Chain A
Amino acid sequence: GDSVTQTEGQVTVSESKSLIINCTYSATSIGYPNLFWYVRYPGEGLQLLLKVITAGQKGSSRGFEATYNKEATSFHLQKASVQESDSAVYYCALKNYGSSGNKLIFGIGTLLSVKP
């Protein structure tokens, strides 16, 4: 079945440094899945950070970027300069309508801790 693997556990980055959280996926069926990054800030619900539905395209939001790389089956999340307010849990997810219907399939989540 479809699956998502992302950087596990906690990532600690100093403020103003760069960040990368790795995400790779496995998707069955012909066609390409839609790819997402969701974020959960402390005490809040899951929010969509960015999504890309076309292979080869890049999504961006709040300084974060992710490129849909179908050859590498990757969708890594990057930011050039993190801020303390970026501290949150980040989830990579896919939706593969052809094989998994309308449900989102999530990675395990990566806790980003930004040190001042």
Chain B
Amino acid sequence: GPKVLQIPSHQIIDMGQMVTLNCDPVSNHLYFYWYKQILGQQMEFLVNFYNGKVMEKSKLFKDQFSVERPDGSYFTLKIQPTALEDSAVYFCASSFGTGKDTQYFGPGTRLLVL
């Protein structure tokens, strides 16, 4: 089936630094998502993005978070500055449309903030 890629698979950084997580969505998809899963907890929605704009975001999407997809390249999640509680696995997803359309997920980026 359609593949979503995420780079890197693992990232370790010091608290306060900036990190950018990269997602290569399915090529003809128009909607992009980030989800966060802390170890032992449910995967939770962070944000979705369409046509260059944030459409929805949750309370987990703090001011230190930002997303963009410049010129149709990677869809990125940037955290600046990072905090200890940002340690989690971040999953990117994409879909062609909304409603009944399936969201396809990447394998996740495991972020550890020290």
Binding site for B on A (CB under 8 A): 34, 38, 43-48, 51, 53, 91, 97, 101-109
Contact = CB atoms under 8 A, between A and B. Distances in A.
Given A97-B99, A108-B41, A45 B4 contact: yes
A97 B98 contact: yes
Contacts of B108: 45
Contacts of B35: 104, 106
Nearest to A34: B100
A45 B100 contact: no
B45 interface: yes
A91 B105 contact: no
A47 B1 contact: yes
A46 B33 CA distance: 13
B48 interface: yes
Interface string B90-114: 0101000011101111111000000
A103 B99 contact: no
Given A47-B105, A97-B99, A91 B43 contact: yes
Nearest to A102: B98
Contacts of B45: 103-105
A103 B102 contact: no
A53 B100 contact: yes
Contact of A102 (B1, B44, B56, B58): B56
B106 to A, nearest CB: 5
Contacts of B51: none
B42 interface: yes
B59 to A, nearest CB: 11
